[in-house]
Structure 1
Amino acid sequence: MEDFNELIQTYFGPLNAHELSVIQSYFRKEQLAKNEIFTTSGEICNRLSMVKSGILRVFALSEDGKEITQWLSVKGFFVTDVMGFFFNQHNRWTIQAFTEAELLTISKTDYLQLCREFPKWTEIEKRFIIKCFAMMEDRIFSHLSMTAEERYNRYFEQNRELFHQVPLQYIASVLGMTPETFSRIRKRQSENS
């Protein structure tokens, strides 16, 4: 559970051993088979998980029926539908295991119990939501201020291993570009290497 404690410290700030132990006691190991659904669009997500291993894809269908991959969650990231889990609204996103995945999961019921039992959790939760917001803000800023090629380069540097593990159209979608644009950039990058 060292990974868990390290991730909790990274996302939620400095906590002592007792606090970490209390938080850890609410999370359970969960296995997902390849293609297994974590939560579906239109439902209300009832769990929050840390990815210990594997890849989960967060996606939705556009009005014209095209799949839009919003995020690829890998080891060390949390995964949930934020609107569903935190605000009890219907999920926009479907989350599916792209590979076999091992998760550490807290149910919504246990999450609420943790909030009651451990008052400091409210402050920790606030930091978590702010961190999620900051990540989304960073993605929006990069989409507005960077060229497609700059976004490609940045994502490649941060997620190099994903380029060999998932279909490239998923990465193109995450980056907000068509598969054709993505392919042109990828070809240019390989020619320049």
Structure 2
Amino acid sequence: MSDSFYIYLQDKIALSLDDYKIIQRVSRIRKLRKGQYLLQEGELCNFVAFVTQGCLRNYRVDEKGEEHIVYFATENYWSGDRESYMLQEPSNYYIDAVTDSEVIQITKDNFEMLCTEIPKLGELVNVLIQKSFIVSQNRIHSAISFTAEEKYLDFLKRRPKLATLVPQHMIASYLGMTPETLSRIRNTTKKKRS
């Protein structure tokens, strides 16, 4: 198991040596090259993934072939398709590596076993799901009520590291605007700050 995953878990919950050994036994380190898929549309998401290095994106592709990014997972973030995972139905999403990345992958059966065997882990998962719901609510609110400039400024405030890590066309997709609109907004905000 990755040191960063162990440190993350120790920071959130107190793990015993036995807990650590159980988690280590069922965890698989997976390295992804930039552009490599963790999950493709039509596949079953029967795992959870914890990002130890790099950046992943979850996105859908519409009938025109345009990508719509719904989530970025950087170091110490979880990734997967919750709908496919819970309902055990084929995914509507793609998850790929924006940069060379490394994840800890745990199968659904093993992860559910861990949450039962290590109750503190199950409690952590519930807290993370609640926080994820709040983040989703805030994103929906932003999408329906903010101007394009407000969306971009909110993004910079909430995820400043992503602004330098992710290509601008992906940020535009995540914010629901064209790359040209994002470029114009970036130029305007730079002028206002000068």
Question: Aligned in 2, Cα 1:72/1:119: closer, same or farther, shift over 3 Å?
Answer: closer
SS in 2 for 1:17: coil
2:175 & 2:8 partners in 1: Cα distance? 25
1:166-177 aligned at under 5 Å gives the runs 166-177=166-177
SS in structure 2 at match of 1:106: strand
Q: Using the alignment, how far apart are the partners of 2:165 and 2:119 within structure 1? A: 41
CA–CA distance in structure 2, aligned partners of residues 133 and 83 of structure 1: 13
Instruction: Answer whether contact 1:5 1:20 (CA < 8 A) is retained.
Output: no
Aligned to 1:97: 97
Letter in 1 for 2:96: Q
Give the unaligned 5+ runs of structure 2.
none
Q: CA deviation at 1:134?
A: 1.6
**Aligned-pair CA distance for 1:127:** 2.5
Where structure 1 has 5 or more consecutive residues not aligned to the other structure, the ranges are none
Structure 1 residue ranges, 4+ long, deviating more than 4 angstroms after superposition: 119-122
Aligned counterpart, 2:86: 86
Q: TM-score, normalised by structure 2?
A: 0.84
Code of the residue aligned with 2:13 in structure 1: it is L
Deviation at 1:20, TM superposition (A): 5.8
Structure-2 separation of matches of 1:20 and 1:189: 49
Does the CA-based 8 Å contact 2:115-2:121 persist in structure 1? yes
* Contact 1:50/1:79 (8 A) holds in 2: yes
Matches of 1:71 and 1:129 in 2, distance apart? 14
CA shift, 1:101, in A, is 0.4
TM-score with structure 1 setting the length: 0.84
Match of 2:137? 137
- Where do 1:10-89 residues align within 5 Å? 15-18=13-16, 21=20, 24-25=23-24, 26-89=26-89
Query: Percent identity at matched positions?
Result: 32
Q: Aligned with 2:42: secondary structure?
A: coil
SS at match of 1:41: coil
2:48 aligned counterpart, secondary structure: strand
